[in-house]
């Protein structure tokens, strides 16, 4: 319980009310015989950036998809903005879905549309605004995520892997959502791009009051922008809280993750940085 309390006080530093935006309780998800989530619990507070870590194939993407309602759940409950998505009628569900933006692990851009049209897709469907403003906003989003303007008229198959990530983020941000789901946003970006990306997320978080659920393997992102970190192993959240609590955790997987060859290098610099 101490971990959760610590987490609360931590989020209260960034946000006063500490309102829970995503509440997952006793979630069970499986494919066939295999259970991927086994009575999993998770809270995400308003205004925080939650970093979600876990080994490959542990189910981070599946949890994200379950929260988004893309994977059927066997038991348990998921509440977003205090509402159970599955219990909502279509109109309210639509309203709920307009409040979040999603960046899929593989981008999932519409292959038949240009980058600009991809970004305008949600605007066109949900809002009545002039084509001129839509064009300008799409361009703004394209610049915001660090793409060059001439990428606007390219099709997804003409983009590099990193450009796909950025274009997909631009689309996720199209409606200025309150809640952003990012599945490995910085994988495939060069270190400079990844750092810019982190900065962008943190700017958006502060100015828009954005809540971010970010699946990541990027230790730098965890150190620089995540308010809290949750770790997934064996179908459960084995720890959640500020990074420093997880760094001190005795759990073997967390130890290997943060104090292994790669993690260790960064953790030591992080430690130096904290002590100074």
Partner 1 sequence: MSAESLQYPPEVSLAGVGRMSLSGDWTLAASRLLEINAQKIVEHGSHATSLIIDLQAVSHLDTAGAWVINRAQRELTQARISVALERIRPEYEAMLREAAYRDFHPPPRHRSPLIFDLLVDLGASVVGAFHDFYRGVAFLGEFVSTLAYVAANPKHFRFTALVSHIESIGLRSAPIIILINILVGAIVAQQGIFQLERFGASSLAVDLIGILVLRELGVLLTSIMIAGRSGSAITAEIGSMKMREEIDALRVMGLSANEVLIAPRVLALVCALPILTFIADMSALLGGMVVAWGYGDISPVAFLSLLKAAIAFRTFAVGLIKAPFMALVIGLIAAMDGLATEGSAESLGRQVTSSVVKSIFMVIVLDGLFAMFFAAINY
Ligand X SMILES: Nc1ncnc2c1ncn2[C@@H]1O[C@H](COP(=O)(O)OP(=O)(O)OP(=O)(O)O)[C@@H](O)[C@H]1O
Which of ligand X, Mg ion, partner 1, none lies near 96, with the C-beta cut-off 5 to 8 A by kind? partner 1
Residue 175 as a binder of partner 1 (CB under 8 A): the answer is yes
> Three-state DSSP class for 88?
coil
Tokens linked to 31: 């494919």
Size of residue set near Mg ion by CB under 5 A: 2
Q: How far is the CB of 61 from Mg ion (least distance, A)?
A: 3
Q: How far is the CB of 51 from Mg ion (least distance, A)?
A: 14
Given a contact cutoff of 8 angstroms between Cβ atoms, the answer to whether 177 and 101 are in contact is yes
Residue 114 as a binder of Mg ion (CB under 5 A): the answer is no
The CA distance from 3 to 129, in Å, is 46
Calculated CA dihedral for residues 46, 51, 55, 57, nearest 10 degrees: 50
Which of partner 1, ligand X, Mg ion, none lies near 265, with the C-beta cut-off 5 to 8 A by kind? none
The CA distance from 40 to 234, in Å, is 10
Which of the residues 23 through 62 are near ligand X (CB under 6 A)?
31, 36, 54, 56-62
Given a contact cutoff of 8 angstroms between Cβ atoms, the answer to whether 134 and 179 are in contact is no
Which of the residues 79 through 108 are near Mg ion (CB under 5 A)?
105
C-beta closer to ligand X: residue 71 or 147: 71
Residue 137 as a binder of partner 1 (CB under 8 A): the answer is yes
Binds partner 1 by CB under 8 A, chosen from 46, 60, 141, 165: 141
Calculated CA dihedral for residues 85, 90, 95, 97, nearest 10 degrees: 50
Given a contact cutoff of 8 angstroms between Cβ atoms, the answer to whether 221 and 198 are in contact is yes
Angle at 206 between CA 203 and CA 210, to 5 degrees: 95
Binds Mg ion by CB under 5 A, chosen from 10, 11, 58, 61: 61
Given a contact cutoff of 8 angstroms between Cβ atoms, the answer to whether 119 and 171 are in contact is yes
C-beta closer to partner 1: residue 154 or 255: 154
Which of partner 1, Mg ion, ligand X, none lies near 228, with the C-beta cut-off 5 to 8 A by kind? none
Span near partner 1 by CB under 8 A; candidates 28-36, 170-178, 217-225, 236-244: 170-178
Q: How far is the CB of 101 from Mg ion (least distance, A)?
A: 18
Q: How far is the CB of 249 from ligand X (least distance, A)?
A: 19
Q: How far is the CB of 105 from ligand X (least distance, A)?
A: 6
Size of residue set near partner 1 by CB under 8 A: 38
The CA distance from 220 to 252, in Å, is 21
Best CA proximity match to 37, nearest among 69, 70, 61, 68: 61
Residues of the shown chain interacting with Mg ion in the complex, contacts defined by CB under 5 A: 61, 105
């Amino acid at each position: 319980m101490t971990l959760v309390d610590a987490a609360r006080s931590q989020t209260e530093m960034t946000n006063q009310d500490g309102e829970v935006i995503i509440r997952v309780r006793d979630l069970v998800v499986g494919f066939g015989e295999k259970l991927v989530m086994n009575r999993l619990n998770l809270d995400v507070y308003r205004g925080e950036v939650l970093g979600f870590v876990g080994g490959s194939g542990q189910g981070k993407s599946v949890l994200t998809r379950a929260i988004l309602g893309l994977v059927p759940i066997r038991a348990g409950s998921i509440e977003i903005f205090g509402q159970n998505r599955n219990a909502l009628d279509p109109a309210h569900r639509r309203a709920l879905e307009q409040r979040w933006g999603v960046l899929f692990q593989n981008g999932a851009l519409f292959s038949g549309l240009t980058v600009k049209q991809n970004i305008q897709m949600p605007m066109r469907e949900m809002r009545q605004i002039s084509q001129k403003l839509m064009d300008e906003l799409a361009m703004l989003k394209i610049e915001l995520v660090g793409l060059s303007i001439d990428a606007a008229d390219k099709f997804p198959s003409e983009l590099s892997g990193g450009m796909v990530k950025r274009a997909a983020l631009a689309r996720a941000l199209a409606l200025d959502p309150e809640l952003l789901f990012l599945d490995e946003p910085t994988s495939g970006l060069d270190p400079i791009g990844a750092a810019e990306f982190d900065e962008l997320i943190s700017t958006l978080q502060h100015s828009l009051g954005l809540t971010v659920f970010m699946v990541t393997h990027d230790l730098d992102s965890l150190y620089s922008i995540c308010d809290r970190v949750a770790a997934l192993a064996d179908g459960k959240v084995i720890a959640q809280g500020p990074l420093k609590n997880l760094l001190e955790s005795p759990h073997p997987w967390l130890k290997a993750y943060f104090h292994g060859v790669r993690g260790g290098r960064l953790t030591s610099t992080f430690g130096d940085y904290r002590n100074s």
